[in-house]
Amino acid sequence: MSKIRIAIAGSSGRMGRMLLESVADADDLVLHAALEHEGSEMLGREAGGVKISADVEAALKGADVLIDFTRPEGTLNHLDVCRRLKVNMVIGTTGFSAQQKAQLGAAAQDIGIVFAPNMSVGVNLLFKLLETASRVLAQGYDIEIIEAHHRHKVDAPSGTALGLGEVVARTLGRDLSECAVYGREGVTGERDPSTIGFATVRGGDIVGDHTVLFAGIGERIEITHKASSRATFSLGALRAARFLKSHPPGMYDMQDVLELK
């Protein structure tokens, strides 16, 4: 069986370096291309046996899957090329607007896309567990989502935290855009029981901690996931790449990859 040819965007970043290591360790994958933005000091250097390039079109010719954990604008630029060249995508980028997400959905008519705010197997199991917890604890419990990440993370709350909130809101029949509370300061009044609160922590080298707190009278239920290494995200991304190899064009998430639906 031929190996799956993987291209990696943002190859010199923290996540990109971890992906390079994970691809090198996989028997069924081969690194096809490593991408970086124009002006990067890493351009022309070798990574995993290939030269880092900013020429997206040339780099992606012949690739099977592009794995992209960059920024929304960069990912959308890569998306146009992938759609034209029929290269599937695994997208772990966060911070997309609704309009940008619609662009991903349109491209999924022609290529396979696994798009998830978090590629970790454990976090995606957490999404599934939250559905059950939210149904059982729908009445009499205040729901708060607490997340912590490293000092370099640029968006808040994290895409994973928002994804957790969306699972809870959907299960409870709420609209997250209407019930989310992203900050509290001063005299805020009593807590509205229909809201879902978010608290954000940034500091040090925290890879990613997420807790969903259900606070009732006389008890608290906390469902927590803590990542100690980015390897959990890269291994999940490679699992998604393998999934796309055997599935038709369409929009998928990690729940599809892990057969949790």
Which residues are designated catalytic?
A: 149, 153
Phi–psi pair at 185, nearest 5 degrees:
-155, 140
Nearest of 211, 196, 104, 93 to residue 153 by alpha carbon: 93
Using an 8 Å Cβ cutoff, are 241 and 67 in contact? Answer: yes
Residue that is written with structure tokens 């928002």 in the block? 162
Cα 90 from Cα 111, distance rounded (Å): 11
Q: Is 87 exposed, middle or buried (0-12, 13-18, 19+ CB in 10 A)?
A: buried
DSSP 259: T
Residue type, 89: M
Dihedral (Cα; 67, 201, 178, 121), 10-degree rounding: 40
Token output for 201: 């922590």
Residue that is written with structure tokens 């370099």 in the block? 152
Cα 208 from Cα 160, distance rounded (Å): 9
